[in-house]
Amino acid sequence: MTTDIQLPKVTQNRIARLAQASGRTPAATLRFVLRDGFDAVERSIQENANADAEFGAGATATHTDVMADAQKLVRQAKRSTRAAA
């Protein structure tokens, strides 16, 4: 379904800015804004930008490291449960 609406210029500018920041078209961004609201879309775009920056800076953990830590925690929890029994 297609509908024509007139948005205030300030809203058009806000959508255009969010579209550029997210790499989406204004039309696609508008669909997200209508579904989630401006605050949620802005927060999502900012969180994605932060994650991209962390990844680019190498501030991430490999899957192997995360799994090793998880397995270590499980082993510790099992030992604690056995010791308490």
Whether 2 maps to a domain, the answer reads: no
Residue 80 — pLDDT band, cuts 50, 70, 90?
confident
Give me the chain's average pLDDT, please.
93
Q: Residue 22, class by beta-carbon neighbours within 10 Å (0-12 exposed, 13-18 middle, 19+ buried)?
A: middle
**What is the average per-residue pLDDT within 2-25?**
95
Predicted model pTM: 0.66
Region of residue 43 (phi > 0: left; psi between -120 and 50: alpha; otherwise: beta) = alpha
Q: What is the model's pLDDT at position 84?
A: 78
Residue 71 belongs to a domain: no
Domain range for 31 = 9-60
Looking at the domain assignment, is residue 83 inside a domain? no
Quick check: is 37 in a domain? Answer: yes
Q: 20 in helix, strand or coil?
A: helix
On whether residue 43 sits in a domain, the answer given is yes
Considering the domain boundaries, does residue 80 fall inside one? no
Question: Which pLDDT does position 60 carry in this prediction?
Answer: 87
- Domain total of the chain: 1
